[in-house]
Structure 1
Amino acid sequence: MTMKKTLLTAALLGALAFGASAQTVRVANQGDALSMDPHSLNESLQLSVTSNVYEPLVGRNKDLSLAPALATAWKQTSPTVWRFELRKNVQFHDGTPFTADDVLFTMARTQQDGSDMKSYTNDVKAVRKIDSHTVEIETNAPFPILPDVLTNVFVMSKKWCEDNQATRPVDRRKGIENAASFRANGTGPYRLRERQPNVRTTFVRNGNYWGKIEGNVQEVIFTPIGNDATRVAALLSGEVDVMEPVPVQDIDRVSNSPNAKAMVAPELRTIFLGMDQKRDELLYSSVKGKNPFKDKRVRQAFYQAIDIEGIKRTVMRNVSLPTALMYGPGINGFTQEQNKRLPYDPDGAKKLMVEAGYPQGFEVTMNCPNDRYVNDARICQAVAANLARIGVKINLQAETKGTYFPKVLRRDTSFYMLGWTPSTYDAHNAMNALMACPDDKGAGQFNLGSWCNAEYDKLTKAVQSETDKVKRLEMIKKANEIHANEIGHLPLHQQSLAWGVSKKVTVVQRGDNYLDFKWITVKK
C-alpha cells in the first residue's frame, strides 16, 4: 500500500471512530444513499437507509410478511377501493402531527415529475380523505396486492415539504436538488442528524417514536467505503460494526476472523442486462442507420455468447444463482420449470450474428455501475470478454452509481446493467416496472430499453386484477414465455447477500437487503 493510500485509510478509519460510543453502530457500504428524498430513486440501498427515517402505510416484519405501520388496518370496501385506518398520535420528527393530509400529499408527490416511484402508484385513480385518520385509495382496476405495493411508498410531511420548497421529488435524471436531498423529516424510529454526501450520514434514535424499538442503538453512523480491501479491513479491525457487501473472495476470511462473521443468504435481487430496442439508431454504436438490438437474432446471440456458469465460477466464486427469468425463487410467480436458460453456445451465437447481417460484429457502449451490485464491474468485464468472441467490441463505461443511475434512468444508454428486487415479492412488480411498455403514468418506468409487446402488457394488467390464484399464475407463466421467446432482456443471476457483522452486534438480515436500525443490538 502506498503512503498516500495509508494516510487516506487512516483518515477514513479515524472519521469512522469519531464520536463512537457503546451504543453507536458504524455501518459501511460500498456506495452511498444518493439522496434523503425517499421518492427520488427507487434503489434498495437508498430505500433501506431512508426507511429508518420515513415509514409507509404498510410495513414488513422480520420474515417480510406485512405489518401495520402508519396504517393500523386496511381492507377492500369494493374491488377497486381500499380503506386504510391511520395510526393516531404519531408525530413527524419536527413535532407536526401525522394525518390523512400527509397521505394524500405523498401519493400525489410520487406521481410528480422527478419521482422514481411512479410504477408503485401508476394505477391509483384517486385518494380520498374520509376523516383526519382514514383514507381511501381507489385504483383503475382491482388491485388485490395494493398493500404490498405500498410498502416502499414512504409518507412525507405535507407541511414540511411546503415550508421547505420540496413539494416535488429530487430529479436524479436532471441533477436537481432541494431541501429533501440533504434533510429529512419522517415519522420513523431514527432521525437524520447529519448528512455529508459520500462522506458520512449520522442518525439518532427518535425519542418520540410511536412504536417499539427492539434494539439498543442510540446512534448510527453510515459511511460509504468504495474500496473492497479498505471495507474489509475496517470490519476486521473493529472500526466498523456492519458492512456490505463482503467481497466474495473474502467471505471465508471474514467468517474465520476472531471478531466478525459473514452472514450469507440468498437475495431476492436479479441482475440482468437491457438493450435499447426503441431508437432507430443506437446512441453509442458503430452501426449507423439502424438498431441491431431490434433484431431478435442479435439479442439471442448476445444471450448465448455469455458464459454465465463461467461468471458464476470465476467472478462470483459460486455464490450466485444463474437464472432465465427476471425474478427469482421467493417471488410469487417464479417457476423452476421455466427457469431454463438458453445454452451457452458461442458458435451458434456467431451464426445468428451472420444471419442478422453482422458477420464482423459491431461496437457498442455498455454502461455499468462499479459500486452498486456484487462485483458489478467485473461481471460487465466478463460479459465484454464473452461478446468479443462473436465479434462484438464492448466499450465499457463503469462508473459510480451517483453518475450511472441518472444517465441510464434518462435512457441515455444503448446497453446497460440493472438489478431488481420486487418489493412486493410478487411477479407483477417486475412485470409492471421492468417489462411493461413505458407510458407517462409509471408503467415500464425501469424498462430502460423500451422492449414492448402488446400481449405482454395485457397480461400485466390482467395479473394485477386477477384474484383467482390459479388463473393468475397461468397468466404470469404465459407472460414469462412471451418475454423469454422475445429475448426482451438478458437475465444473468441472483446474487447472494453477504454482510460482515461484528460479533458484538446482532442484526436482522432481510432477503430484500434492507437493514433496520430498530432491530440492531450492541452487546454491552
Structure 2
Amino acid sequence: MVKRIVLFSLLLFSGCRMGEREVVIVFRPKPLTLDPHAQKIASVRALLENIYEPLVVYTPSLRIGPCLAEYWETPDDTTWIFHLREDVYFHTGKPFTAYDVKATMERIRGMKGSPYIDNISPIKRMEIKDPYTVVFYLHRPCVTFLNKLATVFIIAEDSLTGTGPYRIEKMKGDTLILSAFEAYREPLEVKRIRIIFFESRPYAAKRFVEGLGDIMYRFPFSYIEEARKKGIKLVHFNPPHIFLLGFNLKRYPVNDPTVRRAVALAIDRKRLALGRGEVMDGYISPNAEGYSPEVHAISYNPSIARRLLKGRRVRFTLLITQDLKSMGEEIKEMLARAGIDVRLELPKDNKEFFHKILGGEVDAFIVLYLNETGDGGDALASLFHTREEGWGGENLFYYSNPRADSLIESVFGVMDRKERNAILLEAQNVILEDLPAIPLFSPFEYHAVRNGYELMPHNAMSLWLKTLRRRR
C-alpha cells in the first residue's frame, strides 16, 4: 500500500508542463450540478464520464466492456461477481476498492429523487468478498443488468470524487476547467481542457463557426454546410436514439386515435429523415438491443389520411424546440396537404419546452428520446408503460395499455435473446396500434473538430476526451 501511495504522489505532482496549449470545448447544456447521481441528462453524462467511471462501459460500437471491473462471472441468473481493477486511484489519491462500489450503490438508494434508483433496483443485496471482489445478488434475473451498471458512476466511499482521466480544476460561471489526472492508468495527450457552456445549441454553433473553440459537442444539423465551408471536420456517430412526434392523449383532438393515424399517414418520414438520420418504423432504433425490421410500419399515404378524416378539419398545436424549427415547418406543410392545420409553438428555451409538456399544456410535441442503456426493453418501459413506481418515467403521453404493460414487464425476466426480441416486437406492434407517439427517425449526430484535433466517435453519445489527439 505504501508503494502505491508513493507512486500516486509522484504522478499527481508531476503536473502539466508549462505553456501547454489547453483545448477549448463548446458544450451544451450547462450542468445543474456535477454530482454524478443527481441528474440523468445524456449530454451531461457525456461530460461527467471524463471525471467519473462505471464498473462496465459502452464501447464505441455499443458493446459492454470492462472499466473499473476487470471481468465478471454469473454462476446463476441472479448472482453477478465482479472482479475489480487493482491499479485505480481516486483523484484524492485513495485507492479504489469494492467498498467504494458498495458505498456508491447505498448512496443512490438513500438519495431522494435520484434518477439512478431504477438503474440499481435489480440489486437485492451486495457482498464484499475481498477488497477487489464485489457480489451483487438480484431480486430476479435481469438481462439488462450490465446495461444499467454502465450508467452508474462510482465515487469514493468518503468523498464525491471520481477515478476518470480528468479531474475538476475549477468551475466558475459558464466555464469548467479540467486537468489531466496524472495517476490515470492510460496515457493522456491533452493535459488541460476548458469547457464553455451555452444554453442555446444554435447560438453555440454560430460562435463555434465564427472561431470559438477547438471542439463542439453535438454540432447541430442546421450548421453543417456552413461548417464544411470553413473546413471544420465533422465526426459522425449514430446513437440508439429516436425522434418522436408525441401526443397528449388527454387533449382534443389528438385523443382521437383516428386523428393520430391520419397524422402518421400524412407525414413523409423518408423525406423528413433525409440527411438527418435513419427512418424509424418502430420505437427501437437499429443499433439498440431488441431492434426488429418486422414492426407494423405506417406507410406515407396522405390520400388515405384525408379519407380517414372524412372532410373533418383538424387543428392542433405542435410544440417544438428552436433548433428543430425547420423540421416543424416541414411537418406542418405535409399535414396541411391532408387537411390538418398545425400551429407551431416555439418556447424560448428547453426549460419552458419541458415545463409545457409536463404541465399538459400542449396537444403534440417533438422530442428526442435518448436511450441511455441502448436496450429496447428499457426504451419501451420508460416511454410507454403506465406511469407508476419504477415504470413509465418518460411517458409524456398519458398512455396506458394493460396488454403493452404486461409484455414490457415480461421481457425483463427473459434471458433468451430470440424470445426476448419476439416479445419486444409484439409490444411495439401493440403500441403502434394505439399510436401515442409516431416514430420519425434515428438521428445522425456530429461533433465538430478543428485545429488538427482528432476525436474517436462513440455511438453512445459519449465524449471520450482521453482519445483526443492532435495530428503532428
| TM tier, smaller | 0.7 to 0.9
* 1:174 paired residue number: none
* Shift in alpha-carbon separation, 1:381–1:202, aligned structure 2, 3 A: farther
Q: What's the CA shift for 1:353?
A: 4.7
* 2:29 paired residue number: 31
Give the Cα separation in 1 of the matches to 2:167 and 2:222. 35
* 2:12 paired residue number: none
Q: What's the CA shift for 1:269?
A: 1.8
What pairs up with 1:146-185 in 2 under 5 angstroms? 146-160=145-159, 185=161
Calculate the TM-score normalised by the size of structure 2.
Answer: 0.84
Q: What's the CA shift for 1:296?
A: 2.0
Given that 2:126 and 2:137 are in contact with CA atoms closer than 8 Å, whether structure 1 keeps it comes out as: yes
Give the Cα separation in 1 of the matches to 2:393 and 2:107. 16
* Shift in alpha-carbon separation, 1:452–1:158, aligned structure 2, 3 A: farther
Per-residue CA deviations over 1:386-433 (Å, capped at 9, x if unaligned) read 456644443614342345446646777653332234333331221222
Q: Secondary structure at the match of 1:338?
A: coil
Q: What's the CA shift for 1:203?
A: 1.2
Q: Which amino acid aligns with 2:165?
A: P
Q: What's the CA shift for 1:272?
A: 0.8
* 1:266 paired residue number: 238
Given that 2:296 and 2:429 are in contact with CA atoms closer than 8 Å, whether structure 1 keeps it comes out as: no
* 1:205 paired residue number: 180
Identity of aligned residues (%): 21
Q: What's the CA shift for 1:190?
A: 0.7
Per-residue CA deviations over 1:255-312 (Å, capped at 9, x if unaligned) read 4545x322234343211122233xxx54xxxx5xxxx444322322332333434433
Stretches of structure 1 lacking an aligned partner (at least 5 in a row): 1-19, 162-184
1:234 is aligned, of 197, 208, 213, to: 208
* 2:284 paired residue number: 327
What pairs up with 1:99-114 in 2 under 5 angstroms? 99-111=97-109, 112-114=111-113
* 1:8 paired residue number: none
* Shift in alpha-carbon separation, 1:253–1:480, aligned structure 2, 3 A: same
Q: Secondary structure at the match of 2:446?
A: strand
- How many positions carry a matched residue from both structures? 452
Q: Secondary structure at the match of 1:461?
A: helix
RMSD: 3.1
Given that 1:235 and 1:243 are in contact with CA atoms closer than 8 Å, whether structure 2 keeps it comes out as: no
1:490 is aligned, of 418, 434, 438, to: 438
* 1:171 paired residue number: none
2:428 is aligned, of 466, 480, 488, to: 480
* 2:300 paired residue number: 343
* 1:432 paired residue number: 381
* 1:312 paired residue number: 273
* 2:62 paired residue number: 64
* Alignment pair present for 1:422 and 2:379: no
Q: Which amino acid aligns with 1:273?
A: L
Give the Cα separation in 2 of the matches to 1:206 and 1:94. 10
Given that 1:118 and 1:445 are in contact with CA atoms closer than 8 Å, whether structure 2 keeps it comes out as: no
* Shift in alpha-carbon separation, 1:96–1:413, aligned structure 2, 3 A: farther
Give the Cα separation in 2 of the matches to 1:418 and 1:251. 21
Given that 2:382 and 2:392 are in contact with CA atoms closer than 8 Å, whether structure 1 keeps it comes out as: yes
Per-residue CA deviations over 1:196-255 (Å, capped at 9, x if unaligned) read 45x22221111222x213x41111112235364763563564x41111444435434434
Per-residue CA deviations over 1:2-37 (Å, capped at 9, x if unaligned) read xxxxxxxxxxxxxxxxxx964421111353344322
Give the Cα separation in 1 of the matches to 2:339 and 2:33. 41
